[in-house]
C-alpha cells in the first residue's frame, strides 16, 4: 500500500459519503470495507514493529530495516512504533519470519515500565517468561529458564521457544516444569493459546512528538481515530479476561510437542491433568450459574485436543479423571462446549468420540460387575457417556440442519374427526432435554450429522448393560434425586437392539398392570371385570372386516384396552396364541391392507414403497384403525412386512415432510427438482416451462390439477421463486395432499404408543428397523446362535445336512423358512442371532413333514434317513403349511 493507494481509498470513501444519503446499504458496506482496510493496515504496522524490535530470526538477514541484520541500531518501543508507520507508508520490504517466530501482541516483561503502557493507550498483560528472540547481533540471548521463570500460561511461540531452548541445552527440565505448571492449573491453562487481539502498543502515540515526526495531517487524523477506538476496546481488559481459544495455534503447538519423544513429557502431562481434574472437581460445584465459565470451556477444549489422550496411561489415568470432573459441568457450559466442537473444533469430533468410546469400552470389559455393582454405577463410564452427549449435540450442530418450523405441534390432536373426540389421548410428553433446549435443536432437525449417528453406538456397553436394571432406574420416581443413572436417558450410545429391550420392558409392565387391574376387579366382586387381554377372534377369509370392526369398537369404548397383551384366535383353528398366532395375524392383515383393491395406499413404482392415497374413498376411521394395527405390532414386539418411505417415520416422530424427503419417496421427481434448483442461467423459465400449477393422477388415472398458490397457473417458475416452488411442491405431496389420511393414521398409532418412551429412545431410521426388522439375512449368524434339543447337536449328520441345504436356499426360500419356524419372514432388529432358534428331534425317520412351534421358535425335525429326503420334506413344509392345528 502506497500514498497513491491511500489517496485513492480516501477518494472512494469520500464518494461513498456523498452517496450515503441515497443508499444506506452501500454506506454500511463501505464502512465494513474501511474497517477491513484499517485492520489490514494495523497488522502490517505490527509486523514492521516486530521486525524492527525482534528481527526475523534469520542470522544472514540483509534487510537494513530488520533487527536480525545487525545493521539496525537498538530502538525504544516508541521509536520503533513511529519508524514502523513510516515503513508502512513507504511499502518497505518485510522479511519472512522464522517458522517458529510468530508475531505476538504480548510485551516481553511487565518489569519494563516502558513496555507496560506504550504511548499511554493501554497494554495487554504480558507473559513475563517470554525470552527475547534476538540481540543486537541476531543471536539468542543468554537468558535461561529457572524455577522462578516457569510460564504462567503458554502460547504457541512460547512453546516453540522452550523446545528450542531445551534442545539447545540438551535438557528438558524447563519443558517438564512448564507443562506441570500450566496444565495443572485452571487459570493458567485457560489463558493459554488464546486468540490475542491486536495490541495497541504498536500504534504510535499521537501525543508524543517523537512518534509523529514526518507524518502528514491525514495520517494524524487516522491515528486519532484509532486511538479512540483502542481506548474503548481496551478499557475492560485485565489479567482476568479469558480470550477465546485459537484452536489452529493449539494444534500446531501440539504437533511440535508430540514430535518429541513422548517419554520426555508424558508423565508430567498426565500428572498435571490429574491435578487439573481435581481442581475442576472442587471448583465446578461451587460455581454459580451466573458466573463466567469461559475458562472451563477453554480448559476442556485444550485437554481434548491432546493427540494421545486415548492411548496408554492417558486413557488409564488422565482421561478418566477429566471425565469424572466434567460431570459437574453446568448446562450452559455444556452448550458452549457443544457449539465450539461444532464450529472451530469440528475436525476433531471423531478423534474425541473415539477416545471416549475407547475409555467406555475398556472400562466395560475391565470392570468386574456383580449383583451389587452394576455398569450404571461405574462413575467413569457414566461420566464419559455424559461427555459423549455433549459431543452428540455438537455433531448435529456441525451437520446439515433443517428449520425447527417443520416440527409438528399439538395441532395434530386438536383437529381430529368428531367421531373420535371422545377418545382422550394420554400422551406422556417427555420433558425436553435442557441441553437441547438451550441449543435450540432436536434430533429430527438434523438431516445429515457431521458423523453418522451409528458411530455413537457402543456395542460392548450395549451388550453388557442389564436393561431390566436400567429400565428400573429410568422409571424410578426418585431417580433424579437419588442420582440413579439410566442409559435410556442417553439412547444415542445404545444399539437399536438394546433399546428395543428397554421398550419391551416398558410395554410388558404396562400389560401386566392391566392384568392386575382385571384380577383385582374380579376378586373384589366387580359386576363387570375387564378382560385381562386384548382378544380378537377373526375369520381367516374375512380377516380385515373382523379385525377392524373389533378394534373400532374397542378404540371407541375403552382405548386403554389396546395396551393389553394381544391374543388372536382364528375361527375354526385350535392354535393357542403364545405369540405365533399374532405374528401370522399381523402378516395377513398387512397383506390385505396394502392390496391395491382396497386403494387405501398407492405403490411408488420407482422405490416399491407404499404411500397414502390422497383420493382414497375410505373413511378416516379406516386409516385410524390401520394406525392402531401398526402401533399394536410395536407394542407386541411383532415385525411387519411393510415398506413405507422414511418420511412416514419422520412424520410419526413429529416432523413434516420436506424437499429432501422426496429423495427416497420419488427419486425421479427429486432429481428433476434438484436439477431446477441447480440450474444457473437466467432463462430457467424458458427451459423448464413450469408454473405454480402441478398435476397428479387419482386411482382411476384421472389427471388432477392443483395450484400451489392462488392463480398458480399464471405464475411461471423463475430463478427468483424456484426455491419457493420446490418447497410448496414437496409440502403438498408429503403433507397437504394426505393430511386427512395421515392425521387419522397418526391418531390410531398414538392410541397404542402414546405412553411409551418410543420417541425418546428411537430416531426415525431406528423406528423403521423396529417395525420392519433388519434387511441383513445372515444365516451364518442364525446357525451360530441356534440351540439343539431332543438328542441333536451341531455334530449330528442331519443338522449338518440341514444347514448345508439352508445356506443353498434362495432368499425367497429363506424367508419362507423363517416364516415357517418363527411366524414371521422378517429379520429382528439386531440380526438373526436374536431369534434363538431351537431345532429339536421329533422321532426317528418317517414320512412326516417337519413342524414348528412358532410361539417359541422351535423346529421339530424327524431324523430323516438321507439328505435328499430331508430336502424334500423341508421344502414341502415351508411352501404348503398354513394355519394352526393340534400337533
**Residues that are catalytic:** 855
Tell me how many helices (H) and strands (E) the chain has. Answer: 37, 12
The continuous run of DSSP H or E covering 107 comes out as none
Alpha-carbon torsion (867, 871, 872, 874), positive or negative: positive
C-alpha distances (whole Å) from 628 to each of 104, 613, 862 are 68, 18, 41
Q: Where are the beta strands (DSSP E) in 747-856?
A: 787-789, 838-841, 851-853
- Tell the burial category of 451 from Cβ atoms under 10 Å away from its Cβ (0-12, 13-18, 19+): middle
The bridge status of strand 787-789 relative to strand 693-697 is unpaired
For residue 838, the 8-state DSSP code is E
Q: Where are the alpha helices (DSSP H) in 304-348?
A: 312-313, 319-326, 331-342
Cα–Cα distance for residue pair 603/670, rounded to 1 Å: 17
The bridge status of strand 693-697 relative to strand 609-612 is unpaired
How many C-beta atoms lie closer than 10 Å to residue 45's C-beta?
20
The torsion region of residue 585 among left (phi > 0), alpha (psi -120 to 50) and beta comes to: alpha
353, 451 Cβ separation under 8 angstroms: yes
The β-bridge partners of 566 are 534
| Cβ partners under 8 Å of residue 886, min gap 6 | 574
| Cβ partners under 8 Å of residue 665, min gap 6 | 604, 607, 609, 611, 645, 647, 657, 733, 734
860, 850 Cβ separation under 8 angstroms: yes
Q: Coil, helix or strand for 413?
A: helix
- Quickly tell me which residue has 392383515 as its cell: 589
DSSP assignment string, 663-711: HHH-HHHHHHHHHHHH--STTHHHHH--BSEEEEE-TT--EEEEESSTT
397: closest CA among 456, 340, 332?
340
Cα–Cα distance for residue pair 252/155, rounded to 1 Å: 11
Cα–Cα distance for residue pair 855/577, rounded to 1 Å: 7
DSSP assignment string, 497-550: HHHHHHHHHHHHHHHHHHHHHHHHHHHTT-SSPPPSSEEEEE-GGGHHHHHHHH
59: closest CA among 135, 130, 131?
135
- Quickly tell me which residue has 397437504 as its cell: 736
The torsion region of residue 193 among left (phi > 0), alpha (psi -120 to 50) and beta comes to: left
419, 388 Cβ separation under 8 angstroms: no
Cα–Cα distance for residue pair 753/856, rounded to 1 Å: 25
Cα–Cα distance for residue pair 865/126, rounded to 1 Å: 91
Residue 151 C-alpha cell reads as 510460564
Cα–Cα distance for residue pair 109/126, rounded to 1 Å: 6
415, 359 Cβ separation under 8 angstroms: no
Alpha-carbon torsion (675, 681, 687, 690), positive or negative: positive
Amino acid at each position: 500500500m502506497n500514498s497513491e493507494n491511500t489517496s485513492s481509498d480516501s477518494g472512494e470513501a469520500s464518494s461513498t459519503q456523498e452517496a450515503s444519503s441515497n443508499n444506506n446499504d452501500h454506506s454500511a458496506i463501505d464502512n465494513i470495507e474501511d474497517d477491513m482496510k484499517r485492520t489490514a493496515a494495523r497488522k502490517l504496522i505490527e509486523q514492521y514493529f516486530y521486525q524492527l524490535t525482534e528481527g526475523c530470526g534469520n542470522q544472514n538477514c540483509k534487510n537494513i530495516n530488520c533487527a536480525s541484520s545487525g545493521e539496525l541500531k537498538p530502538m525504544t518501543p516508541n521509536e520503533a512504533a513511529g519508524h514502523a508507520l513510516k515503513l508502512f507508508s513507504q511499502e518497505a520490504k518485510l522479511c519472512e519470519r522464522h517458522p517458529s517466530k510468530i508475531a505476538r501482541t504480548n510485551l516481553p516483561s511487565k518489569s519494563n515500565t516502558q513496555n507496560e503502557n506504550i504511548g499511554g493507550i493501554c497494554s495487554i498483560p504480558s507473559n513475563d517468561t517470554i525470552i527475547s528472540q534476538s540481540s543486537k547481533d541476531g543471536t539468542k540471548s543468554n537468558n535461561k529458564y529457572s524455577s522462578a521463570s516457569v510460564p504462567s500460561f503458554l502460547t504457541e511461540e512460547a512453546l516453540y521457544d522452550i523446545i528450542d531452548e531445551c534442545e539447545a541445552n540438551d535438557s528438558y527440565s524447563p519443558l517438564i516444569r512448564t507443562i506441570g505448571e500450566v496444565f495443572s492449573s485452571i487459570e493458567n491453562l485457560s489463558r493459554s493459546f488464546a486468540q490475542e487481539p491486536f495490541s495497541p502498543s504498536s500504534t504510535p502515540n499521537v501525543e508524543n512528538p517523537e512518534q509523529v515526526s514526518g507524518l502528514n495531517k491525514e495520517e494524524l487524523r487516522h491515528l486519532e481515530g484509532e486511538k479512540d477506538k483502542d481506548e474503548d476496546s481496551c478499557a475492560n481488559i485485565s489479567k482476568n479476561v479469558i480470550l477465546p481459544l485459537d484452536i489452529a495455534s493449539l494444534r500446531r503447538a501440539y504437533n511440535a510437542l508430540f514430535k518429541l519423544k513422548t517419554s520426555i513429557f508424558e508423565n508430567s502431562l498426565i500428572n498435571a491433568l490429574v491435578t487439573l481434574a481435581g481442581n475442576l472437581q472442587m471448583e465446578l460445584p461451587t460455581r454459580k450459574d451466573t458466573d463466567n465459565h469461559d475458562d472451563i470451556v477453554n480448559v476442556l477444549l485444550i485437554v481434548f485436543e491432546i493427540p494421545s489422550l486415548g492411548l496408554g496411561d492417558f486413557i488409564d489415568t488422565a482421561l478418566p479423571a477429566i471425565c469424572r470432573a466434567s460431570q459437574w459441568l453446568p448446562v450452559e457450559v455444556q452448550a458452549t462446549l457443544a457449539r465450539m466442537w461444532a464450529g472451530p473444533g469440528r475436525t476433531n469430533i471423531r478423534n474425541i468420540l473415539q477416545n471416549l468410546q475407547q475409555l467406555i469400552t475398556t472400562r466395560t470389559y475391565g470392570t468386574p460387575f456383580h449383583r451389587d455393582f452394576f455398569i450404571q454405577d461405574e462413575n467413569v463410564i457414566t461420566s464419559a457417556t455424559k461427555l459423549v452427549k455433549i459431543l452428540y449435540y455438537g455433531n448435529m450442530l456441525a451437520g446439515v440442519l433443517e428449520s425447527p418450523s417443520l416440527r409438528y405441534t399439538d395441532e395434530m390432536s386438536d383437529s381430529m374427526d368428531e367421531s373420535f373426540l371422545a377418545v382422550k389421548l394420554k400422551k406422556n410428553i417427555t420433558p425436553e432435554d435442557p441441553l437441547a433446549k438451550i441449543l435450540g435443536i432436536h434430533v429430527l432437525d438434523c438431516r445429515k450429522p457431521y458423523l453418522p449417528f451409528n458411530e455413537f453406538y457402543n456395542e460392548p456397553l450395549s451388550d453388557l448393560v442389564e436393561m431390566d436394571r436400567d429400565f428400573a432406574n429410568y422409571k424410578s420416581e426418585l431417580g433424579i434425586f437419588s442420582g440413579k443413572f439410566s442409559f435410556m436417558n442417553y439412547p444415542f450410545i445404545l444399539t437399536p437392539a438394546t433399546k428395543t429391550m428397554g421398550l419391551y420392558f416398558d410395554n410388558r409392565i404396562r400389560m401386566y398392570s392391566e392384568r392386575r387391574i382385571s384380577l383385582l376387579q374380579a376378586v373384589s366382586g366387580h359386576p363387570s371385570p375387564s378382560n385381562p387381554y386384548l382378544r380378537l377372534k377373526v375369520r381367516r377369509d374375512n380377516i380385515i372386516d373382523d379385525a377392524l370392526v373389533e378394534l373400532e369398537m374397542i378404540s371407541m369404548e375403552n382405548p386403554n384396552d389396546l395396551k393389553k397383551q394381544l391374543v388372536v384366535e382364528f375361527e375354526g383353528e385350535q392354535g393357542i396364541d403364545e405369540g405365533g398366532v399374532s405374528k401370522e395375524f399381523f402378516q395377513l392383515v398387512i397383506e390385505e391392507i396394502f392390496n391395491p383393491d382396497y386403494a387405501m395406499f398407492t405403490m411408488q413404482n420407482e422405490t416399491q414403497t407404499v404411500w397414502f392415497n390422497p383420493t382414497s374413498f375410505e373413511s378416516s376411521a379406516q386409516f385410524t384403525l390401520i394406525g392402531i394395527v401398526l402401533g399394536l405390532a410395536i407394542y407386541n414386539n411383532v415385525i411387519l412386512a411393510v415398506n413405507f418411505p422414511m418420511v412416514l417415520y419422520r412424520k410419526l416422530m413429529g416432523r413434516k415432510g420436506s424437499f429432501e424427503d422426496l429423495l427416497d419417496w420419488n427419486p425421479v421427481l427429486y432429481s428433476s427438482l434438484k436439477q431446477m434448483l441447480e440450474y444457473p442461467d437466467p432463462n430457467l423459465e424458458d427451459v423448464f416451462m413450469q408454473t405454480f400449477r402441478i398435476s397428479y393422477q387419482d386411482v382411476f388415472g384421472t389427471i388432477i390439477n392443483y395450484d400451489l398458490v392462488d392463480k398458480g397457473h399464471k405464475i411461471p417458475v423463475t430463478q427468483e421463486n424456484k426455491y419457493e416452488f420446490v418447497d410448496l411442491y414437496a409440502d403438498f405431496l408429503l403433507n397437504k395432499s394426505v393430511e386427512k389420511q395421515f392425521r387419522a393414521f397418526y391418531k390410531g398409532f398414538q392410541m397404542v404408543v402414546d405412553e411409551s418412551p418410543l420417541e425418546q429412545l428411537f430416531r426415525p431410521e431406528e423406528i423403521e428397523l423396529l417395525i420392519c426388522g433388519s434387511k441383513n439375512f445372515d444365516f451364518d449368524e442364525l446357525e451360530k446362535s441356534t440351540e439343539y434339543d431332543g438328542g441333536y447337536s451341531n455334530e449330528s449328520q442331519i443338522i449338518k445336512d440341514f444347514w448345508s441345504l439352508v445356506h443353498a436356499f434362495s432368499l425367497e426360500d429363506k424367508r419362507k423358512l423363517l416364516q415357517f419356524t418363527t411366524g414371521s419372514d422378517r429379520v429382528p432388529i439386531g440380526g438373526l442371532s436374536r431369534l434363538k432358534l431351537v431345532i429339536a428331534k421329533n422321532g426317528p425317520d418317517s414320512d412326516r413333514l417337519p413342524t414348528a412351534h412358532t410361539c417359541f421358535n422351535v423346529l421339530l425335525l424327524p431324523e430323516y434317513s438321507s439328505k435328499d429326503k430331508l430336502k424334500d420334506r423341508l421344502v414341502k413344509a415351508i411352501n404348503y403349511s398354513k394355519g394352526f392345528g393340534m400337533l
